[in-house]
Amino acid sequence: MSATKVVTGKVRFSYLNVFQPRAAQPGQEPKYSVCLLIRKDDEATLKKVKAGIQAAAEAGKAQWGGKVPAGLKLPLRDGDAERDSAEYKGHWFINCNSKQKPGVVDSALNPILDASEIVSGDYGRASINFFPYANSGNRGVGAGLQNLQKLADGEPLSGRSRAEDDFTEASEDFLN
């Protein structure tokens, strides 16, 4: 396995777009993507992520003039500092994307083919690859989405309620 490839421990999926690519902004190329929420106390995953980012930064020296530039943009970000959201509190986060559709499996390694079976808020593991980039004056390390494994259901992050929670069973009198 490459030094830039990381398989995470248990993370939470947010902004999950793994069945249909989506453009971040109009006119941009659509991509598959997910934001990984990593608990700040998950030291094993954080150690692997930081090592992958460092390996990508070292690999980037060739395209950055032989050294790692100051102010390099890094993919591991602090949810407490950058997001005003309860879901991000106590977490680091990484936005990952890919032009190619990722593999998505359940805990028994069976392919998940129905988009309703894995949603933002669910828990799982991710296979990601860190890479250096230099684009339009920006230099940094990006995170490429490879594959996802769903481990457990989580409270959906969509903000949308379930129909079963909104309604009561209709009585015969109500239907007439």
* DSSP alpha helix (H) spans, the chain: 43-60, 79-82, 163-166, 172-175
Question: What pTM, to 2 d.p., does this model score?
Answer: 0.87
Pair 40, 50: CB distance under 8 Å: no
* pLDDT score recorded for residue 119: 94
Pair 118, 161: CB distance under 8 Å: no
* pLDDT score recorded for residue 130: 98
* pLDDT score recorded for residue 168: 75
Mean pLDDT across 43-54:
97
* DSSP alpha helix (H) spans, 15-89: 43-60, 79-82
Other residues' Cβ atoms within 10 Å of the Cβ of residue 133: 15
CATH topology of domain 5-175: OB fold (Dihydrolipoamide Acetyltransferase, E2P) (2.40.50)
8-state DSSP, 156: -
* pLDDT score recorded for residue 167: 76
Given a cut of 60, whether residue 175 has pLDDT beyond it is no
Q: Is 69 strand, coil or helix?
A: coil
Token reading at 111: 């392919």
Q: How confident is the model at residue 9 (pLDDT cuts 50, 70, 90)?
A: very high
- Angstrom distance (rounded) from CA 74 to CA 48: 15
* pLDDT score recorded for residue 51: 97
In this predicted model, what pLDDT tens digit does every residue of 148-166 receive, in sequence order? Answer: 999 999 988 866 666 677 7
In sequence order, what are the beta bridge partners of 127? 7, 147
Domain ranges for the chain, please list them: 5-175
- Angstrom distance (rounded) from CA 136 to CA 151: 38
Mean pLDDT across 91-120:
96
Q: Which residues have C-beta within 8 Å of that of residue 19, sequence separation ≥ 6?
A: 101, 104, 115
In sequence order, what are the beta bridge partners of 112? none
8-state DSSP, 72: -
Token reading at 102: 């990722």
Q: Express as a percent the part of the chain with pLDDT over 70.
A: 92
Q: How confident is the model at residue 92 (pLDDT cuts 50, 70, 90)?
A: very high
